Amino acid sequence: NAGVMQNPRHLVRRRGQEARLRCSPMKGHSHVYWYRQLPEEGLKFMVYLQKENIIDESGMPKERFSAEFPKEGPSILRIQQVVRGDSAAYFCASSPPSRGSTDTQYFGPGTRLTVL
């Protein structure tokens, strides 16, 4: 029973390059969330997606960041023209189809992005 999978675990990019982070939710889960953790801080919500739909992207920076969860394949968080301030740990979480208001989110191991 595989958990949430993220790859790569570590990603190094130079300023101006693009970063693509992938997330495969737990089997049977259809909701995906992305969070970012800066050093010495808690996790900050970025975006919530269901298959082919962005439900809530209120935590996403307005520029350079985008996310998708296609019908087939993993969810992708894309950061264009990365800057040093994008260096952080990016966590994906998933939850099952909603049966109520108390869905627990299960987290992947994270992708640590370093921008040189």
Name the site residues for another protein (rule: CB under 8 A): 4, 6, 31, 33, 35, 40-45, 48, 55-56, 58-59, 91, 93, 95, 101-110, 112
Environment class of residue 66 by beta-carbon count within 10 Å: exposed (0-12), middle (13-18) or buried (19+)? middle
Cα within 13 Å of Cα(18), Cβ side = 9
CB atoms within 10 A of CB 114: 14
CB of 45 to another protein, least distance (A): 5
CB of 15 to another protein, least distance (A): 25
Cβ distance to another protein smaller for residue 17 or 107 = 107
Cβ distance to another protein smaller for residue 17 or 29 = 29
CA distance 57 to 14: 26
Write out the two tokens for 94: 């998933």
CB of 94 to another protein, least distance (A): 11
